[in-house]
């Protein structure tokens, strides 16, 4: 297998090209996805390669985009519907959680909805409160939906292909701040299934569970902590729904201490769910309360200084770990 | 109400400080403003003074390296018990606390303090920590304790809030930790490490912490053990300093040391940073003679006109520092720093000034020095130097320099090789103002010159650009009116 360095957005783009080439049932619709290649260039070159029948620009009408996708998916195609900024998902929410998520259940399994929704979330671009949110917890709360959060170029490609091949509605949340991040990506088509966590680092003193861009920050923190003699294990769940709790539990039983990091608001975030599952399953293996590090309960600030203070970063992750492991 | 004595945060980047020495005894009556302990940071040493009055209760020992905000001790009112959960280093509670583990430290037990107790005060750390009458044991520690057959409520917890964690149980099971002992027996204790850095140093050097023979292992203990092992210095310059031989070279054995100066505090910092500088950088020095006639003439004029007004005339050195600040604007590569595999050219010029103080030197930093007028710069320099010599300088004022100037001119030195402060890529040495002469056509004229010694890091700056910086200095010093205004 030939592997080379690609950026996150190029890796995603390559996954789209290869998935569409491999399966004629896959098509793409969304705002500015065809002629412009997507505002983040996620879809560059698809129109040229696959033509207007499979790559469609739409008006600014999120509900219609998803509605079309649900219908097409129910009829057997594999649509990829782009919602550009995750913050716009509210407009299309009824189609997502009442239609896409429910059809298979309400039709007794006679229909499946292999719909993929792509969108970009996350702060750190000074894009202000309506263009910076991390709303994965909303989606993960709805039975019937799957939610992937690629945290590396490798995963950006593997998870978009995995989402397209999955027979259920799946939302792939890219992170805007990671678009230029480089990493090794195999040339060949490959797919990462939903619900398989990635153990980014193995360690023995503490488990850090991080999602999306926080994986990158936690990765830096793990290096810094290593220099201080603290061995941290870093787990990226990759998909928050379904959640690979078994990998997390195995790690916690080994390290006895846990920190969960996400960019979304702490209250009611995925961290709360993971924390609860950990204490339900391995309470007797904990040497410290499960710790969380996430955004405060406030909209994402526009001012860069405030935004930096709002989103967790490597130094704060390292500090939180030190608080967990410190002994007198 | 007990007054907590905490480790002060003296600067924005201060992450730890070391209790060099307690200056008051346990139980001593303390009044407001009395120095309680000597605190060492990587930049300065300060005395921490009492903010209230009461009887001293020390909770950490000499040599503890701790984070800012950590409680170091309490000032207790007459007859007041220590706060709940605090294990006093007070001898009166030692063996009794160990023998009666459920006794909380908040209820001091009246017991005669005999000589045995006095000599082993650290045994007080062996009792369990109770809060509201409970010993907190983590779920994992309870599980491990059940497996190993240890009663975790008899152990002293080392986790947050004094919680017993699984490591405490494992240590107890391995026979290292304090088990409840019969009264009269002396307890031994497992090493308790204040700081992960100590653990890392020990791991790197292959030191067995349990063999150090001290119940409270600090980084200094580990360094001392490394020194005793005679091991090769580790990568960090500070431990390299600490890892010097601990015995006199046999060739010097007949010698009696006239005095012994510990390599710690400011001396230790200078030793570590200078060694770090010379091991990590490719340093070399240009000597360059600059003509000072115009500066001398301007200073003479200023002296004459300011004399009756009592106004301060900027020193020669002030002119040179001002010229260097402006020259850095034109040669920004000298105002840079190396980050990993990148040279980061810095946008702001923060000038470090070497100031000799008794026992060493300090490098206070004048922020945005290039924006100050010559007179503001002179005033700031004077204030900084006085603050250094009086010891009132804050840690923040010693951080963040991007270049430095050091002068030995007043000692008669012409040329020298200054050593770059780690993190910078250059330092300018200023020599003695001296008479010289030069030919103007057929005429030999008297002139005044001094030698500048520019040390630069060849990884970043090459010889020619460094020389161009010095030429700019010469041009600026030849036109000193340019140096007067700020911004």
As a whole number of angstroms, the distance between CA A52 and CA A68 comes to 16
Which residue in the list A14, A62, A136, A217 is annotated as catalytic?
A62
Beta strand pairing call for B192-193 and B216-217:
parallel
Boundaries of every domain in chain A: 5-184, 198-326
- Closest Cβ opposite residue B138 in set A228, A288, A326: A288
Kindly list the residues from chain B whose CB atom is less than 8 angstroms away from the CB atom of residue A287. Answer: 138-141, 159, 163, 165-167
The phi and psi torsions of B169 (rounded to 5 degrees) equal -65, -45
Segments in chain A forming alpha helices (H): 8-22, 46-50, 62-74, 93, 103-106, 136-140, 153-165, 214-227, 245-255, 270-282, 304-310, 314-325
- Closest Cβ opposite residue B165 in set A227, A229, A287: A287
Q: For this structure, is A62 an active site residue?
A: yes
Name the one residue in this structure whose structure tokens are 């100031």: B355
Question: Which pLDDT band, with edges at 50, 70 and 90, does B89 fall under?
Answer: very low
Residue B388, min C-alpha distance to chain A (Å): 32
Q: What is the DSSP string of B161-199?
A: GG-B-HHHHHHHHTT-SPPP--TTSPP----EES-HHHH
Q: Which fold has domain A198-326?
A: Rossmann fold (3.40.50)
CB contact under 8 A, A228 and B197: yes
Q: Which residues neighbour B192 within 8 Å (Cβ) at sequence distance 6 or greater?
A: A327, A328, B125, B158, B215, B216, B217
Reference B23, options B60, B49, B55, B59; nearest CA is B49
Mutate to test the interface with B, among A221, A287, A321, A323 (most CBs of B within 10 A): A287
User: Three-state SS for B22?
Assistant: strand
Q: Which residues neighbour B146 within 8 Å (Cβ) at sequence distance 6 or greater?
A: none
The phi and psi torsions of B211 (rounded to 5 degrees) equal -90, 5
Closest-CA residue in chain A for B138?
A: A287
Exposed, middle or buried: residue A256 (CB in 10 Å: 0-12, 13-18, 19+)? buried
Which residue in the list A14, A17, A31, A131 is annotated as catalytic?
A131
For residue B319, give Cα distances in angstroms to B326, B374, B478, B482, B483.
11, 7, 11, 11, 7
As a whole number of angstroms, the distance between CA B148 and CA B171 comes to 11
As a whole number of angstroms, the distance between CA B87 and CA A18 comes to 66
As a whole number of angstroms, the distance between CA A254 and CA A233 comes to 10
The phi and psi torsions of B402 (rounded to 5 degrees) equal -110, -10
Name the one residue in this structure whose structure tokens are 């109400």: B1
Name the one residue in this structure whose structure tokens are 């539990």: A249
Q: What is the DSSP string of B268-294?
A: HHHHHHHHHHHHHS-EEEEEEEEE-HH
**H/E segment holding residue B141:** helix B139-148
CB contact under 8 A, A228 and B200: yes
Segments in B359-484 forming alpha helices (H): 374-390, 463-478
Cis before A287? omega within 30: no
Q: Is the ipTM above a cut-off of 0.85?
A: no
Contact B177, B189 (CB under 8 A): yes
Closest-CA residue in chain A for B192?
A: A328
Beta strand pairing call for B71-76 and B342-345:
unpaired
Q: Which fold has domain A5-184?
A: Rossmann fold (3.40.50)
Question: Which pLDDT band, with edges at 50, 70 and 90, does B483 fall under?
Answer: very high
As a whole number of angstroms, the distance between CA B179 and CA B234 comes to 36
Q: Which two tokens stand for residue A48?
A: 């040229």
For residue A119, give Cα distances in angstroms to A219, B175, B220.
24, 57, 53
Kindly list the residues from chain A whose CB atom is less than 8 angstroms away from the CB atom of residue B16. Answer: none
The phi and psi torsions of B468 (rounded to 5 degrees) equal -65, -35
Note the pLDDT tens digit of each residue in B215-272. Answer: 556 666 666 666 655 443 344 444 444 455 666 776 776 677 788 887 877 788 888 8
Domains A5-184 and A198-326 share a fold: yes
CB contact under 8 A, A288 and B142: no
Q: Which residues neighbour B392 within 8 Å (Cβ) at sequence distance 6 or greater?
A: none
Per-residue pLDDT of chain A (328 residues; tens, 9 = 90+): 799 999 999 999 999 999 999 999 999 999 999 999 999 999 999 999 999 999 999 999 999 999 999 999 999 999 999 999 999 999 999 999 999 999 999 999 999 999 999 999 999 999 999 999 999 999 999 999 999 999 999 999 999 999 999 999 999 999 999 999 999 999 999 999 999 999 999 999 999 999 999 999 999 999 999 999 999 999 999 999 999 999 999 999 999 999 999 999 999 999 999 999 999 999 989 999 999 999 999 999 999 999 999 999 999 999 999 999 988 7
CB contact under 8 A, B200 and A229: yes
Question: Which pLDDT band, with edges at 50, 70 and 90, does B202 fall under?
Answer: low
**Contacts A–B by Cβ distance under 8 A:** 56
């Amino acid at each position: 297998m030939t592997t080379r360095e690609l950026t996150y957005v190029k890796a995603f783009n390559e996954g789209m090209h290869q998935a569409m080439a491999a399966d004629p049932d896959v098509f793409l619709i969304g705002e500015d996805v065809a002629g412009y290649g997507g505002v983040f260039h996620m879809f560059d070159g698809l129109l040229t390669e696959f033509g207007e029948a499979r790559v469609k620009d739409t008006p600014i009408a999120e509900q219609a985009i998803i509605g079309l996708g649900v219908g097409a998916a129910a009829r057997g195609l594999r649509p990829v519907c782009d919602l550009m900024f995750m913050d716009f998902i509210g407009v299309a929410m009824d189609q997502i959680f009442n239609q896409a998520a429910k059809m298979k259940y309400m039709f007794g399994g006679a229909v499946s909805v292999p719909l993929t929704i792509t969108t970009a979330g996350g702060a750190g671009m000074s894009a202000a409160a309506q263009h910076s949110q991390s709303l994965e917890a909303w989606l993960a709360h709805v039975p019937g939906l799957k939610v992937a959060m690629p945290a590396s170029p490798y995963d950006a490609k593997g998870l978009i292909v995995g989402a397209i091949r999955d027979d259920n509605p799946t939302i792939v949340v890219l992170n805007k701040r990671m678009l230029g991040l480089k990493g090794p990506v195999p040339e060949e088509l490959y797919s990462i299934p939903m619900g398989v966590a990635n153990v980014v680092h193995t360690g023995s003193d503490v488990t850090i569970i991080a999602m999306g861009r926080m994986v990158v920050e936690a990765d830096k923190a793990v290096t810094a902590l290593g220099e201080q003699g603290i061995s941290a294990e870093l787990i990226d769940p990759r998909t928050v729904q379904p959640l690979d709790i078994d990998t997390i539990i195995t790690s916690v039983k080994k390290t006895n201490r846990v920190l969960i990091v996400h960019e979304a608001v702490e209250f009611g975030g995925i961290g709360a769910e993971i924390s609860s599952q950990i204490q339900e399953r391995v309470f007797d293996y904990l040497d410290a309360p499960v710790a969380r590090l996430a955004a405060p309960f406030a909209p994402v600030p526009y001012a860069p200084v405030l935004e930096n203070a709002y989103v967790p970063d490597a130094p704060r992750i390292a500090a939180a770990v030190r608080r967990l492991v410190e002994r007198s | 109400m007990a007054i907590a004595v905490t480790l002060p945060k003296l600067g924005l980047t201060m992450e730890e400080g070391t209790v060099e020495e307690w200056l008051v005894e346990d139980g001593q009556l303390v009044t407001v403003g009395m120095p309680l302990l000597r605190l060492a940071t990587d930049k300065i040493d300060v005395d921490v003074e009492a903010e209230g009055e009461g009887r001293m209760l020390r909770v950490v020992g000499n040599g503890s390296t701790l984070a800012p905000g950590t409680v170091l001790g309490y000032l207790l009112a007459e007859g007041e018990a220590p706060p709940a959960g605090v294990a006093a280093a007070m001898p009166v509670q030692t063996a009794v606390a160990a023998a009666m583990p459920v006794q909380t430290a908040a209820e001091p037990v009246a017991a005669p303090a005999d000589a045995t107790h006095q000599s082993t005060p650290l045994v007080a750390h062996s009792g369990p920590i109770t809060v509201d009458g409970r010993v907190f044991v983590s779920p994992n520690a309870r599980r491990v304790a059940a497996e190993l057959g240890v009663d975790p409520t008899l152990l002293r917890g080392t986790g947050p809030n004094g919680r017993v964690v699984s490591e405490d149980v494992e240590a107890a099971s391995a026979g290292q930790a304090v088990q409840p002992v019969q009264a009269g027996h002396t307890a031994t204790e497992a090493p308790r490490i204040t700081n992960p850095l100590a653990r890392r140093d020990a791991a790197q050097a292959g030191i067995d912490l349990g063999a150090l023979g001290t119940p409270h292992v600090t980084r200094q203990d580990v360094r001392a053990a490394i020194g005793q092992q005679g091991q090769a210095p580790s990568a960090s310059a500070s431990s390299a300093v600490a890892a010097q031989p601990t015995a006199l070279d046999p060739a010097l054995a007949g010698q009696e040391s006239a005095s012994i100066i510990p390599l710690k505090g400011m001396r230790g910092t200078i030793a570590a940073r200078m060694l770090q500088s010379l091991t990590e950088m490719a340093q070399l020095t240009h000597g360059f003679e600059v003509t000072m006639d115009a500066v001398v003439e301007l200073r003479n004029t200023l002296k004459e006109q300011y004399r009756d007004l009592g106004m301060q005339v900027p020193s020669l050195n002030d002119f040179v520092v001002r010229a260097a600040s402006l020259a850095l604007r034109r040669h920004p590569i000298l105002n840079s720093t190396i980050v990993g595999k990148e040279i980061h050219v810095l946008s702001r010029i923060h000038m470090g000034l070497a100031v000799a103080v008794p026992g060493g030197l300090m490098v206070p930093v004048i922020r945005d020095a290039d924006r100050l007028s010559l007179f503001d710069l002179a005033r700031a320099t004077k204030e900084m130097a006085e603050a250094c010599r009086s010891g009132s300088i804050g840690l923040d004022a010693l951080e963040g320099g991007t270049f430095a100037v050091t002068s030995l001119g007043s000692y008669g030195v012409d040329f020298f090789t200054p050593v770059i402060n780690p993190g910078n890529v250059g330092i300018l040495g200023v020599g003695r103002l001296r008479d010289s002469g030069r030919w103007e056509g057929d005429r030999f004229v008297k002139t005044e010159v001094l030698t500048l010694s520019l040390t630069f890091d060849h990884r970043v700056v090459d010889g020619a650009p460094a020389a161009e910086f010095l030429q700019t200095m010469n041009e600026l010093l030849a036109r000193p009116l340019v140096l007067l205004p700020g911004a």
